[in-house]
Amino acid sequence: MPRMTMIEAIRSALDVSMERDDDVVVFGEDVGYFGGVFRCTQGLQQKYGKTRCFDVPINESGIVGTAIGMAAYGLKPCVEVQFADYMYPAYDQITQEAARLRYRSNGDFSCGITIRMPTGGGIFGGQTHSQSPEALFTHVCGLQVVVPSNPYDAKGLLISSIENPDPVIFLEPKRLYNGPFDGHHDRPVTSWASHPLGEVPADHYTIPLGQAVVRRPGSAVTVLAYGTMVHVAEATAEETGIDAEVIDLRTLLPLDLDTIVASVKKTGRCMVVHEATLTSGFGAELVALVQEHCFYHLEAPVMRVAGWDTPYPHAQEWDYFPGPARVGQALRDMMEA
Amino acid sequence: MTDETRLSLNVPEPEVRPGGKPDFSRVPIPKAGSVMRPEVDADPETIRDLAFSIIRVLNREGEAVGPWAGTLTSEELLEGLRHMMLLRAFDQRMLMAQRQGKTSFYMQHLGEEAVSCAFRKALRPGDMNFPTYRQAGLLIAGGYPMVDMMNQIFSNDADPLKGRQLPVMYSARDHGFFSISGNLGTQFVQAVGWAMASAIKNDTKIAAAWIGDGSTAESDFHAGLVFASTYKAPVILNVVNNQWAISTFQGIARGGSGTFAARGLGFGLPSLRVDGNDYLAVHAVAKWAAERARRNIGPTLIEYVTYRVGAHSTSDDPSAYRPKEESEAWPLGDPVIRLKNHLIRIGAWSEERHKQTEAEIRDTVVAAQKEAESHGTLHSGGRPSMRDMFEGVYATMPPHLKRQRQKAGV
């Protein structure tokens, strides 16, 4: 099986989808000739032509707005917003238009678009190249929100997203583009070449939306994570020796509640970790659901480790990012509770 | 510093406020027939003047004059008159229905009937409009059943949108009418995307974008223009300048640009300004732009100069911000009366037939309303089910919505 980085896996997903379906079009800022600032669309314009993969004016609302119009026509646009931090000008089109088109028209029109956005921190991206705005999407009925944590999932989930008849927000942790990252920024960067999930089939396959996966089985505590934090949680479990069951949510909306509840009922403890800021972050929804569905099985309060409630700083990157030290301390505290 | 100037903020004001005498003397109205009709493949650079004049066909005497005349037969004009009269009668009944509590809300088209009714006749089956809430003439002139429009307004058990949408936010894909949204301007750039899709697929269909004068200030107006310009999308970009955005006069949105059509010039778009109360002129310009789009030459921006005679909506009282008599002073008159006078002038119509038709139309609308009301109105009779409320958020209902539906007991 070929080995791919997450970038290559995403590119492969787009390639496979464009090959299989002429209605799939790919566009965004610098996506065409140049192949994307992260190389995710490299070679697609050469292979499929300028009307299937093209550059656009710098206007996020225009990107999403035209994609919605194309979907209304019957195409399946997979568009890119260069950084999730720059989705805000398109927020009106995403939340009021894409998310509601099927509902408000009673199925007269639908909106099968996929919006790819590089997300997350850990790259010295500062305030507008590091944000994790997933909670701003999970709060919107009509959207689906996906966050892959490895190349294999990235490809399968992206193909599923493109084939999905409704709008999908596809958040790509850019810290994971070239290799897994467990938060140990002081250690050498590793690549996907030596990671089992860097093995990616070259052809078509899908991973259904709405299904979480247990990355590390454990019995002491359930850790709910997605994106980069999956790797942080896995590493922390090994380093602390706490037998944590790490669940990679993969899809935040719709959420795989069954997998979460089964795990927490088994372990009796639950910790949520995410890069996004704490207050009203997606973790709050997870905590509420866990306490509602697992209340009588809980042996300790459900806890959250998240980014601080501040804009994402530059110089204080590693004081902000919830790395193994913070997650490890929280796990130890929880086991003593 | 001796040459220091104290700065002051410019806040435009309309010429007249309530209590004042309506005055449109500063609105230049060129003579009917005086504006050139360029070839559809004309270089936009050579027709910049058209963004600052007003294309008109019907003169004061009711004659069709000049190079834009002659796109419609008298039969087609009679049909157009009927559409406008239908829309006006429909508005009157629905306005009354709102006052009677049969629906929560309505928005009429009074004075703007020609814009959407005439434009619709320049399109072909398969073309797609991306309308605002004030282009129901596209449905009426396109033959969409009036009863279905009323069912939507009454949110009854035959409402095609299952009671989910505010009244007048229709959706009719098969009639080339995109789902209306409450947020302004969003559909303008979506229309461009639809047109791009048609071009990507080497189709022959074109799109029409719609926006009001006030909403041109929204960012998506700009987005629509830049994408249309870049990709030469087969789209007609329509700006309906009815002078008012709720209480805000058009000068607030327009600023110093002179006209809304002039906005298109910076994007290299051919930009035309047309008498929005002249059915013949609207049709001729729409046809010109449609041909341009169909021949893959590119998009066109059209500003329709008209006047919003009625209140913004049933929740609005215009006497609080403009003179009551202002609509009567509007120099471009009433679109229904002007077309009627033209048809009488050419011997195709008469006052008597007009009165007779008015009565027939009233009966038609009343009959449609009776039928719609048999399916219920907002507060009485049949209504969409609570179960419908949970459907259609997604193609397949996700588990959390199933749980909520169960909790709701349906």
Min Cα–Cα distance to chain B from A288, Å: 14
Q: Which of A129, A184, A195, A231 is catalytic?
A: A129
Measured in whole angstroms, the distance separating CA B223 from the mean position of its chain's CA atoms is 20
The per-residue pLDDT for B181 is 97
- Collapsed DSSP state (helix, strand, coil) of residue A78: strand
The per-residue pLDDT for B26 is 84
CA distances in angstroms from A81 to A58, A88, A118, A267, B319, listed in the order given? 10, 10, 8, 39, 46
Residue with structure tokens 């994007």?
A: B267
DSSP line for B323-351: -TTHHHH-TT--HHHHHHHHHHHTTS--H
Write the CB contacts of B287 (distance below 8 Å, at least 6 apart in sequence). Answer: B71, B122
pTM: 0.98
Structure tokens at B181: 């949204």
As averages over each run of 10 residues, the pLDDT of chain B (410 residues) reads 88 94 92 98 97 98 98 98 98 98 98 98 98 98 98 98 98 98 97 98 98 98 98 98 96 92 98 98 98 98 98 96 94 98 98 98 98 97 94 98 96
Write the CB contacts of A202 (distance below 8 Å, at least 6 apart in sequence). Answer: A1, A2, A12
CB-CB: which of A62, A73, A96 is closest to B198?
A73
- Collapsed DSSP state (helix, strand, coil) of residue B238: strand
Residue with structure tokens 């990679």?
A: A248
The per-residue pLDDT for B257 is 85
Of A217, A233, A235, A237, nearest to A225 by C-alpha is A233
CB of B200 within 8 Å of any CB in chain A? yes
CB of B193 within 8 Å of any CB in chain A? yes
Amino acid sitting at position B153: I
Residue with structure tokens 């200030």?
A: B217
**Distance between CA atoms of B311 and B99, rounded to whole angstroms?**
14
Q: What is the pLDDT of residues A277-317, one digit of tens each?
A: 999 999 999 999 999 999 999 999 999 999 999 999 999 99
**Distance between CA atoms of A89 and B172, rounded to whole angstroms?**
28
CB B190 within 8 A of CB A68: yes
CB of B404 within 8 Å of any CB in chain A? no
Residue A129 falls in the annotated catalytic set = yes
**Distance between CA atoms of B362 and B272, rounded to whole angstroms?**
35
With bands split at pLDDT 50, 70 and 90, how would you rate the model's confidence at A1? Answer: confident
With CB atoms and an 8 Å threshold, state whether B190 touches A72: yes
With CB atoms and an 8 Å threshold, state whether A108 touches B197: no
CA distances in angstroms from A212 to A111, A289, B222, listed in the order given? 25, 15, 41
Q: What is the pLDDT of residues A27-63, one digit of tens each?
A: 999 999 999 999 999 999 999 999 999 999 999 999 9
Q: Which residues pair with A216 in a beta bridge?
A: A246
The secondary structure of chain B in percent helix, strand, coil, rounded to multiples of 5, reads 40, 10, 50
With CB atoms and an 8 Å threshold, state whether A69 touches B191: yes
Q: Which residues of A touch B392 (CB under 8 A)?
A: 102-103, 106-107
Q: Which residues pair with A194 in a beta bridge?
A: none
The per-residue pLDDT for B255 is 87
Q: Which residues of B touch A105 (CB under 8 A)?
A: 161, 171, 173, 179
Q: Which residues of B touch A90 (CB under 8 A)?
A: none
The per-residue pLDDT for B256 is 84
**Distance between CA atoms of A249 and A282, rounded to whole angstroms?**
12
Side-by-side strand order, sheet with A53-55: A53-55, A24-28, A76-80, A114-119, A168-173, A144-146, A251-253
The per-residue pLDDT for A337 is 76
**Distance between CA atoms of A18 and A12, rounded to whole angstroms?**
10
